[in-house]
Structure 1
Amino acid sequence: MQKLEYKCKMLVEVPSRNTTIDCSRCGNKVSKSLAVRIHRCDKCNLAMDRDYNASINILQKGLNIFNHNTLPQELRELTPVKISKRSMKQEVAVITAFSKEKPKPFRVG
């Protein structure tokens, strides 16, 4: 924490519980193994990198701790992250290995 405080403009500690499970768009819980690197929500059809989804949830939890309107704009911006083709191939391989049914094709974009 001391190293982070030294480097950061602002530091807010938030609980990380369920940040990779909760959908950052609708709040739906999407269970997945650690090997699955893409978050895909069945309710709102959001598909994005698992870590990016968690980072949005962590940011939202941090902003809810205090009035986020007092933050500078650059600390509130969300920038999209492009999912690499390698990540999608890895997820399909994991789904195929652990599932009896064929993986359904999906589109990220």
Structure 2
Amino acid sequence: MKEAAALEALAHALAAKVRKRDRPPDRDLPAIYPEGVDPSATNSAYIRRIRILTDAYQLGWLVDQHLVVRESVTDLSPTELRCLLIELEEAREAITEGLPLEQTGLIKNMASVLPKP
């Protein structure tokens, strides 16, 4: 009986963790800059971190999803940079936890996003 209760508690804990991971990141929140910080410096920090994660975890495909018809990460707006960084951090967490990226919802169907010729 104790084993059944322990297994039940473990199942509930795992379910709670999965529900937490299924919640999409809060991409709509505005970036909060401390007073006196130049937003272009923040954008540079975003871009540096994006490049580090892209190289370290082979996430160029995820960056490409955000670029669609743009040439470079530097063409993204501050909000778009922030969204990309959030997704890269989410992918990094999934990789380090051994979770398949297919389960993260980060891989998008690009056919629906690409502009029509």
Say yes or no: TM over 0.5: no
Give 1 or 2: higher strand fraction.
1
TM-score (norm 2): 0.30
Higher helix share: 2
Larger Rg: 1 or 2? 2
Give TM-score scaled by structure 1 length.
Answer: 0.32
